[in-house]
Amino acid sequence: MGLARLLLPLRPKIERPPSLISETSSQRQRTVLDVPVPSNQGNPRDVPKSARYSRSVPLPHPDNGRSSGSETYVRPVEHHSGDAYISLADRAMSSLAQAGIFGSFLVDYLPWLKHAPSWMSFRRKAREWRKPVRTMLESPFAAAKKAWVEGTATDCLVSVELESGTKSEETIKNVAATMYAAGADTVVSGISSFFLVMLLHPELQETGRREIDRVIGKEQRLPLYSDRSQLPFI
């Protein structure tokens, strides 16, 4: 992924955090995200440092249903009029997706071409695509840090980690951007994949429709969770 490497900033050194289950700050309890390590990872030292850090990131109030954007950067997501940061994340992820298709550019096969003159087409594309990636990394973090400095920030990943002072700003910034981009992209990716499969395999649509018609019949409603046992194909 030669071109993709041109888009991404250098990865900071990430220190392994202490093993935490929960912590209390300002008389409030914060639950810590604890993602299990796959069983094939026999030695904890074999787990990437970035994965170990992600497993111990405190997520304030994880049960309140807020979006990853609000949990990460304080700023509430605008659901109706569109959200500038969500749009920014979409553009950044689109850029990374295009750059990450191996073989699309000669530099993928000849890495030394990254030193080629800046007027070459793949270098121009890299500069163009790098802009939203860098902005996604810097802009939301800067806004969240500003709110934290001014004392107007509510609990979120950025404000909690800045307050703790145990991680570098570069580490916090990169982890926050990763969470934010993943939250903005995964739902769209899943829905798009579903529609692609349905378009490529119309027989699956027909099989699913017959099963729904058999269970629901002429009722004017959508399938419910209570129908799951009768809808094995769906």
pLDDT digits (tens, 9 = 90+) for 212-225: 999 988 788 888 88
Assigned domain for 210 exists: no
Assigned domain for 222 exists: no
Assigned domain for 172 exists: yes
Contact of 157 with 71, CB cutoff 8 Å: yes
Comparing 117 with 6, the larger pLDDT belongs to: 117
pLDDT band with cut points at 50, 70 and 90 for residue 169: confident
Assigned domain for 98 exists: yes
Q: What pLDDT shows up at residue 187? A: 73
Scanning the chain, the segments in alpha helix (DSSP H) are 2-7, 49-54, 68-73, 84-99, 121-150, 157-164, 169-200, 202-216
Q: Is a pLDDT exceeding 70 seen at residue 167?
A: yes
Q: What is the number of other CB atoms lying within 10 angstroms of the CB of residue 122?
A: 19
Assigned domain for 29 exists: yes
Assigned domain for 148 exists: yes
Domain containing residue 146: 2-200
Q: What pLDDT shows up at residue 180? A: 72
Q: What pLDDT shows up at residue 222? A: 87
pLDDT band with cut points at 50, 70 and 90 for residue 184: low
Comparing 76 with 100, the larger pLDDT belongs to: 100
Per-residue pLDDT tens over the stretch 59-99? 434 333 344 555 556 454 444 445 677 777 778 877 877 77
Comparing 67 with 27, the larger pLDDT belongs to: 67
Assigned domain for 152 exists: yes
Contact of 145 with 158, CB cutoff 8 Å: yes
Q: How many domains does the chain have?
A: 1
Assigned domain for 224 exists: no
Per-residue pLDDT tens over the stretch 187-211? 777 888 899 999 999 999 999 999 9
Residue 65's SS3 state is: coil
Task: Return the C-alpha torsion angle 170, 174, 180, 184, nearest 10.
Answer: 140
Contact of 166 with 175, CB cutoff 8 Å: no
